[in-house]
Amino acid sequence: MSLWVLLLAALVGMLAGTVCALFELSVNRLTEGRLGWLEEHPWWQAILLAFLASALLGMVGYWLTHAFAPEAGGSGIPEIEGAMEDLRPVRWWRVLPVKFFGGLCTLGSGMVLGREGPSVQIGGNLGQMVADLFRLPKEHGHALLAAGAAGGLAAAFNAPLAGILFVIEEMRLQFRYSFLSIKAVGISAIMGTLVLQAIRGQHPAITLPHYQAPQLQALGLFLCMGLAFGVLGFVFNKLVIACQDGYLALHRNRRGRFVGIGMLVAGIFGVLSLYVPSISGGGIELIPHLVRGDYAMATLFLIFVARLIATLICFCSGAPGGVFAPTLALGTLFGVTFGNLFYAAFPELGIEPGAFAIAGMGALFAATVRAPITGIVLVTEMTDNYQLILPMMITTMGATLMAQWLGGRPIYSQILARTLRLAREREALHKTG
């Protein structure tokens, strides 16, 4: 049985890699096609058409989610964590098509959403699908669920080790540790990455310059930056929950209102993606420009504030899309700002702002998700900057400890707790009604 489970884990990884690669290619093709079509029109027509096209895409994405699989809304990672604790159902026959096509529409509309969270949910649901089709016992089904999540994340970022660590570290409270389950997770992450590289190529997820390790005297600055990131991560998590509650108060889970608000949000970001691309989309494409120093300090601050607000507006609306990539972009913005300030204050240290930008990517992830080791490895695999491991460790650990000291909880745990609370309230209302 153990060998059979591992073979199925390899199958799950291959499926996750294939579907997630197709998801990425489809989102890119839709985005490029939409923008290319709009550029053929005069500006006054382009504005109207951009709004209408993205609003239509948003309508499809939000309607599919609300009508067929509400659990496909948002990132999807909390749903996988809940399923691993037997607290949330895994309706893969609904979630897979809704997450793929709904996410394709909302991400393709220009909203500030990431495809990485959806890739984790898609992978996890593929794992559960294989477990159900082969009628595995619950214990082995949980192993394939976790393996699929790892394969999905590995394929999303071309980062197999980060996919393994994400399940083991971030989902440590839900993951059922055993030698078999860890091997299944590892095999799935490997196969998902191999399939992705066969389809998309072997290049890193983000092409950036390679930086040398900073001087020892500069490492204290990375710790200072990490503490600031801890505060930012704590505040960001609070804002996410408050914003989700605000949206719920607006639409009250009524389909017409939910879809209508989503159409408005998608339409607005469709226009922004045409004229202000730096504050639309997931943000992965923006990161190389930030690291290279293409923006002035004042512009960096404005982009950071705008993307912070945009991330909250889009992610908290319930659209099928994640917050992984937007968080990495915010961390890069915050980090390169610190790097520029330190460069001006301590020119004798030979500081490279790009190194702080890369460390910042992992720091905000660590502060919000509370998975510092995953953040370090993820950014290292994504950027191929292995010389920066030590400053990244200092920054991410500082961010994690500060967020923990402030009393914050991991963002996905907070979202899952909120989802379970709302489900209990609806059940109680249904019984009394």
List pLDDT tens digits, range 17-32.
999 999 999 999 999 9
Residue finishing a domain among 200, 226, 258: 200
Assigned domain for 208 exists: no
If asked whether residues 183 and 255 sit together in one domain, one would say: no
| pLDDT digit string, tens, across residues 83-108 | 999 999 999 999 999 999 999 999 99
pLDDT at 171: 85
Structure tokens at 181: 């389950």
Burial class (CB in 10 A: 0-12, 13-18, 19+), 132: middle
CA–CA dist 89, 133 (Å, integer): 16
Task: Tell me the pTM.
Answer: 0.94
Structure tokens at 259: 């879809």
If asked whether residues 108 and 236 sit together in one domain, one would say: no
* Residue 273 CA neighbour count, 13 Å, CB half: 33
If asked whether residues 234 and 109 sit together in one domain, one would say: no
Residue 263 to residues 47, 60, 255, Cα–Cα distance (Å) = 15, 9, 12
If asked whether residues 134 and 227 sit together in one domain, one would say: no
Assigned domain for 163 exists: yes
Place of tokens 């994340």: 153
If asked whether residues 183 and 267 sit together in one domain, one would say: no
Assigned domain for 53 exists: yes
If asked whether residues 181 and 220 sit together in one domain, one would say: no
If asked whether residues 285 and 382 sit together in one domain, one would say: yes
If asked whether residues 153 and 220 sit together in one domain, one would say: no
pLDDT at 369: 93
CA–CA dist 263, 257 (Å, integer): 10
CATH at residue 302: 1.10.3080.10
- Determine the average pLDDT of the residues in 196-200: 93
Residue finishing a domain among 200, 228, 249: 200
Assigned domain for 361 exists: yes
Paired residues of 114 in beta bridges: 322
Assigned domain for 432 exists: no
Burial class (CB in 10 A: 0-12, 13-18, 19+), 293: middle
pLDDT at 412: 94
pLDDT band at 1 (very low <50, low <70, confident <90, very high): low
If asked whether residues 277 and 171 sit together in one domain, one would say: no
Neighbours of 49 (CB within 10 A): 18
| Sign of the CA dihedral with 24 first, then 25, 26, and 29 last | positive
If asked whether residues 226 and 128 sit together in one domain, one would say: no
Assigned domain for 402 exists: yes
| Sign of the CA dihedral with 44 first, then 295, 332, and 309 last | negative
If asked whether residues 48 and 192 sit together in one domain, one would say: yes
If asked whether residues 21 and 76 sit together in one domain, one would say: yes
CA–CA dist 92, 98 (Å, integer): 10
Assigned domain for 137 exists: yes
Position 433 pLDDT exceeds 80: no
pLDDT at 423: 87
Position 127 pLDDT exceeds 80: yes
Assigned domain for 425 exists: no
Q: What is the CA radius of gyration of the chain?
A: 21
Residue finishing a domain among 144, 167, 200: 200
What domain range is 146 assigned to?
Answer: 2-200
Choose between 350 and 325: higher pLDDT.
325
Indicate the SS3 state at residue 150: helix
Place of tokens 């093709």: 29
Residue 323 is given by DSSP the state S
Structure tokens at 263: 């159409």
CA–CA dist 118, 323 (Å, integer): 10
Closest CA to 163 of 172, 174, 150, 176: 150
Total tally of structural domains belonging to the chain: 2
| Nearby residues of 275 by Cβ (< 8 Å), 6 or more positions away | none
Position 408 pLDDT exceeds 90: no
